[in-house]
Structure 1
């Protein structure tokens, strides 16, 4: 099986992939509290895992490589819980600009930012436009859980999409990183249902810290999570992301090298 991870490839191998006009996936996650039962790296781990799986699938049709993930995002709303690392918006912008600039200088022209954190969504929509202009290269953006919306709806029992430290995220962690679950805390891993800010129909947005939404740090109900659901979610989200890659949105924007 061909290697897809950027940092496991040599410079010469990456040059050959660039010459094939390979797609570069940049996972963007977060490091923040995820209730009493999950580690702080959930969003980072899952974005990178879905990217790795999607690259394997899409690699049957086109060259694909996955950069090291961006493990820290916009998580100010989780700071009251502790255990959270956050960037400011200008820092995230600068970091992604420099990563994407390096990718372009390495000879690649098709870049897809793959988001794993709800709090990054609105910012990444805007930053994608900024980066496309600054780098004169069409950058694409997708949240893996938006790409896999259908499988989420079909699989989850208590919610229609991802929330936070919920049935969905807990199930995927059970499937991919079971050693990081604290099962003794699952009985307390539940909280109110929420809608991601980027998907809200509320005409007014205000910044609210997460401890005002849920004292447990959990939105949704992790008590019904299973590894079987998690594997179905990871596979379905990866397939949806691979389909986006193969459909080649860059070609419509004239972004092919």
Structure 2
């Protein structure tokens, strides 16, 4: 379970916004990595808070930054809790930005990161609906600012094998066993397990190629695939599973962020044939 917000190493030692302008200006930025967390405020079924995605992003970063020392030049910006949640629009509690608004906000923040002298920015995303847009935005930021831009989902490196079933990994994409377990670890009082549902997508029996995400994708909104506003089996969620998932994920994220802080895009062509 994470401590109260603004405590722990992430906020006490690695929170860029707690520094003065002078401190930021004088900081060694050669290997500095700035992390911008981007979440969402949207319905997550009858048992989970609308803050679920933003909470998961913040909770994972709080754990991830515990792996760093003062030698790690990795810094967190204040989280952007709102995302593009138009697939949930009309469901109570969903507060969404349009694609163009989210792109503009992230691009403006990136420009400010550049103007502050930094060279590396990672868009750390904890909402599936932001994924495609942020992939596109990251390249636009690279073109417009010259920053080295990285894009990473909070779901990367979960290592769910041995914790949840293959079916849940494939179809439990929103408010199911995985997300519910993670929130039970971070904020157990925010989950009402008595209301946790089971609601799996039923693709046609003869379907071989179409997927909800990745592969041969078809566009959908939540009403197309769910009766309850979630997808998966939340009844199987436990705090113990959440502890394991969050620990595996934060360890992976710590490794990735360190690699990003060492990365130099100019090195990619050093071995190129001339």
TM bucket, shorter chain: 0.7 to 0.9
Which of 217, 222, 240 aligns to 1:228? It is: 240
CA offset digits 1:106-127 (Å, max 9, x no partner): 2221111111011111111111
The match for 2:200 is 192
Which residue matches 2:109? 99
Question: Is the alpha carbon distance of 1:15 and 1:236 closer, same or farther for their aligned partners in structure 2, counting shifts above 3 Å?
Answer: farther
Relative distance call for 1:99 and 1:184 in structure 2 (3 A) is same
2:215 matched residue in structure 1: 201
Instruction: Name the CA shift for 1:75/1:14 in 2 (closer, same or farther; >3 Å).
Output: same
Q: Structure 2 residue aligned with 1:121, among 92, 108, 131?
A: 131
Paired position in structure 1 for 2:184: 174
1:165–1:153 CA distance, 2 compared to 1 (3 A):
same
C-alpha distance in structure 1 between counterparts of 2:64 and 2:202, whole Å = 28
In the alignment, the residues of structure 1 paired with residue 260 and residue 20 of structure 2 have an alpha-carbon distance, to the nearest angstrom, of 26
* Map of 1:34 onto structure 2: 44
Normalising by structure 2, we get a TM-score of: 0.82
| RMSD over equivalenced CA pairs, Å | 2.5
SS in structure 2 of the partner of residue 155 of structure 1: coil
Matches within 5 A, 1:1-257: 3-19=13-29, 21-59=31-69, 62-146=72-156, 148-149=157-158, 151-157=159-165, 159-160=168-169, 163-186=173-196, 189-193=197-201, 199-202=213-216, 205-206=218-219, 208-248=220-260, 251-254=263-266
Structure 1 unpaired stretches of 5+: none
Q: Could you tell me the TM-score, scaled by structure 1's length?
A: 0.87
